[in-house]
Structure 1
């Protein structure tokens, strides 16, 4: 038996459907953020190693930063399907979002590492540190302070861009909302709810990043 919201055409079961979409959005965003950030850190560091490495990785960075996410999702879906990967829509979306996150994070990491004064690096080497020790104990902690704020901005963008994963068949929160709008025609109510959902996720992340930024700067 279904219980209807008064004059809204929405069933209580729709709340469960939206909750599933909510969890799908969180799962996609968290997975893509972790994979993309880790890959971006390595890629950003490689781009500071030599001019050759920077030139070799530039096409990957430039293409993913320039092409709209919805096109990347469609191309990723088509490309992986052609190669015979029978992955779920979740992994198609994760692949595209992680690749974008890696590309933009790489530039943030590169800028952060290059912002570390050369004198600090030379001093670390004069104290007997090797290249890896200097990177881990000197350059990366200092670069973290510079890179934190723009990286948080990238995370927020990724959370919002995850709403585009519906084009590859992944039923995240926005896609679930669109399905219910088509069925119930409760456009305003559902869109306001979707906007509130993204605000509830993004605003605390933004606020926490400001607190964290103040702590590490001090």
Structure 2
């Protein structure tokens, strides 16, 4: 007969960790989407002028997230900044997401055919009207799948914030494993929670894409 030391309180503790994971994901994607949109437009519309920006973003894409967490958390302590570990996690994940979303936006904007832009200008639209009403709507549809994959990736990457003391889903699971010594059961439950959260995001994204297609 199956028996376990896992209690309802442990499950609630894991769900609390999952809520922290969702909060980290939300704020990181909000910051990353806003920053990535601005940087992506700059990279697409002024590639030469924004070349130094591309080099900086390459650093954040290349350096492992764990190192970025540790470095910013250490800098915070050395500089005496009154920033919570949660804020550090949001900032690092947000900048990391922005670095990737920049390229997603850039590729979306460049996917709009120059002939389409010339046609819109010939109809009397100004440069900014062309960008707002023609380029951005078309680029959004191209970039959306990449953005959705980025959201799912960031949700999993939040597990690394455990190294700076944040109790998210994985850290909560490890705490329970240490106490009851049932890693297989606890980690299977944690994996199921991650799966459910990712499935909800993926389904919402797929529904939005279908609506776009129906409106074409």
Is TM-score (shorter-chain normalized) higher than 0.5? yes
1:209 aligns with 2:205: yes
Distance in 2, Cα, partners of 1:20 & 1:142: 39
- Distance (whole Å) between structure 1 residues aligned to residue 84 and residue 186 of structure 2: 27
- The runs of at least 4 consecutive aligned structure 1 residues that moved more than 4 Å come to none
1:147 corresponds to 2:123 = no
The RMSD of aligned alpha carbons is 1.7
Between 11-20 and 191-200, the greater mean CA deviation after superposition:
11-20
Q: 1:66 aligns with which of 62, 66, 70?
A: 62
Residue number in structure 1 paired with 2:112: 116
Return the alpha-carbon distance in structure 2 between the equivalents of residues 201 and 30 of structure 1. 12
Task: Give the match for residue 74 of structure 2.
Answer: 78
From 7, 12, 29, the counterpart of 1:33: 29
1:7, CA displacement in angstroms?
4.6
Residues 132-181 of structure 1, C-alpha deviations (whole Å, 9 max, x = no match): 21111000000011101111111100000011111111111111101111
Query: What are the within-5 Å matches in structure 2 for residues 193-204 of structure 1?
Result: 193-204=189-200
Query: What does residue 17 of structure 2 align with?
Result: 21
Which moves more between the two structures, 69-78 or 12-21? 12-21
Q: Which residues of structure 2 form unaligned runs of 5+?
A: none
Tell me, in whole angstroms, the C-alpha distance in 2 between the residues paired with 1:61 and 1:118: 27
TM-score by length of 2: 0.92
Alignment of 1:102-113 (within 5 A): 102-113=98-109
Equivalent position of 1:3 in the other structure: none
Q: How many residues align?
A: 213
Matches of 1:16 and 1:63, distance apart in 2: 38
**TM-score after normalising by structure 1:** 0.91
Assess if the C-alpha contact under 8 Å between 1:76 and 1:95 holds in 2: no
Q: Distance in 1 between the 2:185 and 2:17 partners?
A: 17
Q: Which moved more, 1:207-216 or 1:176-185?
A: 207-216
